[in-house]
Amino acid sequence: MTRSRFLHGAAALTGAGALGAAAGCTPDEPGGAPAPEETTSPGPDVGPVPEDACPRVERMAPVTGPGITTRFRMEATDLGAPALTPDGRILFIFGDTFEEAVVGGGFWRSPVGLYADPDAPLDDGIRWIGAVGGEAAEQLVPYEHDDAPVSTILPGDVLTVGETMHLWMMVNHGFGTVAGTEIWTSSDSGESWERTAEMFAGDHLDGFLQQCTWCAHPTDGYVYLLTTGFQRDKGVILSRVPAEFLLDPGAYEVFSGDGTWGGEPLTVLEGSIGEMCLRIVDGTWVLTYFDAGNYRADILAADSPEQLADARPRTLLHGGEWGNEAHDVVAQLYGPYIVPGSTLEVMHLVCSQWHTGPDWPYHVEQFRIEDPLGRGCAD
C-alpha cells in the first residue's frame, strides 16, 4: 500500500501516569527552559467559533510547518503523540518526517521528537523548546528507509512509567504492511532511545495488535492497552500487562468481557478505527480516536478501561473537504492526541492532516475544545 492510498480511503467518504487535571499516564512535574520566539503559520480561514457550538471547538493553529518547525529540519510531519517526561517536559513523538513542506521533501526520518514548554499556557499555543537529537530533529534510532525490508517504523503511542519512557512502534515492510511491533525505551527523558524489545508479529491476534495506545493505571499496577490494526479496517480490543513486565510479550492478556481476562478477545469498540489516544483526565479514562469508517474524530469516557466498551461516543471533529472546512470540520484528518494539561472542562488536541495528491498540507494542528464530553450540551 502506498502512503497516498492509505489516506485517500478516508477522504473518499466525502469525496475528498499521573491522575489529576493533567491529561496523561506520566509524572506531573513541570520543568524546561523558556521557549524561544517562533513564527507561526495560519491555518485555514474558518471565521469565529459559532456561539451555540457544543462542544465548543476552536481550531487554533498548526504546530508544525514552515516557520514553526523549520529550525528542526522538519517542515512536513504528522502524528505527535505526547507524554510528560520524567524530568517534567512534554515530549511529542512524530511519524514520517521530511525537511521541506511536502511529503517526500528530503531528509526522511521516523520517528522524531520535539519538546514543548510545560509552563506555557496551552491556550497560548504549544511552544517548542528543543528537539531530540539537538539542533535538528534526528531519527530516534538509526535505520534505513530502503524497503530491504523495512520501509518505515511508525509510532503508536508513548508512555512514561517511573524513570523510563516507552514507545510502541510498528515496523512496516511497505507502507501499511506491519511485519511486527517493538517497544523502544529511553532512560534519559527521551534524549536517547534503544530498540529494546521485539513484541508481536503483525498477524498476532489476526492483526488486532498493531496500532496501540496505552496508559498506566494509578493504583493496580497494570498498563492498559487499546489496540487495532494499522490499516483502519478493524475494531479495537483491550489488553493489560503488569507495568514491570511491559517488555515481556508473554505477560500480556486480553480482555474477554464480563470482568474476565485471558480468553478470546472482546471487541470493545466496533468499526474501522485508526490512531487512538488513551489518557486519564481529571480521574476519568478518556479515549480519543480516528473513526475512519465514519470519517471523524470521536471521544469516549468511562470510570475504567473495561467500561469504555459501554461508553457512548461523541464526535469532536468531523471530516470534510478541502476548501470547505470549519473549526470542527477538518479535511483528511487523523491522529487526535490529548495534550498533557488538558481537563474535562478544556481539552487540547493535536490532530494531523495530509492532503494526498499535492502532499501538502501534511502537518499537525492544535485544537481547543470546551466541554469535550458534552455534559452541558442539549442533545
Confirm whether 42 is domain-assigned. Answer: no
Confirm whether 59 is domain-assigned. Answer: yes
Q: What is the DSSP string of 50-66?
A: PTT-SSEEEEEEESSST
Q: Which of 313, 215, 307 is nearest to 258 (CA)?
A: 307
**Bridging pattern class, strands 222-228 and 236-242:** antiparallel
| Number of structural domains in the chain | 1
Confirm whether 157 is domain-assigned. Answer: yes
CA distance 13 to 34: 43
So what's the pLDDT on residue 12? 39
Give kind and range of the element (H or E) at residue 331.
strand 329-331
User: How many CA atoms are closer than 13 Å to the CA of 22, on its beta-carbon side?
Assistant: 21
So what's the pLDDT on residue 23? 58
Q: Structure pTM?
A: 0.91
Q: Which of 62, 90, 219 is nearest to 158 (CA)?
A: 90
CATH number for the domain harbouring residue 140: 2.115.10.20
How distant, in Å, are the alpha carbons of 235, 248, 305 from that of 197? 26, 8, 25
So what's the pLDDT on residue 3? 53
Number of Cβ within a 10 Å radius of residue 372: 27
So what's the pLDDT on residue 335? 99
What average pLDDT does the chain have?
91
Confirm whether 378 is domain-assigned. Answer: no
Number of Cβ within a 10 Å radius of residue 152: 20
CA distance 170 to 97: 16
Q: Which of 100, 46, 48 is nearest to 69 (CA)?
A: 100
Confirm whether 359 is domain-assigned. Answer: yes
Do 314 and 301 meet the contact criterion of CB atoms below 8 Å apart? Answer: no
**Bridging pattern class, strands 329-331 and 314-320:** parallel
Confirm whether 375 is domain-assigned. Answer: no
pLDDT of the chain along its 379 residues, tens only? 555 454 444 443 333 333 234 456 753 333 334 444 455 566 788 888 888 888 999 999 999 999 999 999 999 999 999 999 999 999 999 999 999 999 999 999 999 999 999 999 999 999 999 999 999 999 999 999 998 999 999 999 999 999 999 999 999 999 889 999 999 999 999 999 999 999 999 999 999 999 999 999 999 999 999 999 999 999 999 999 999 999 999 999 999 999 999 999 999 999 999 999 999 999 999 999 999 999 999 999 999 999 999 999 999 999 999 999 999 999 999 999 999 999 999 999 999 999 999 999 999 999 999 999 999 887 7
361 preceded by a cis bond (ω within 30 of 0) = yes
Confirm whether 33 is domain-assigned. Answer: no
Domain range enclosing 292: 3-28+54-370
Confirm whether 318 is domain-assigned. Answer: yes
Name, in order, each residue with C-beta under 8 angstroms of 212's C-beta and a sequence gap of 6 or more.
156, 157, 168, 181, 225, 226, 227, 276
How distant, in Å, are the alpha carbons of 20, 125, 156, 243, 244 from that of 218? 10, 29, 21, 11, 14
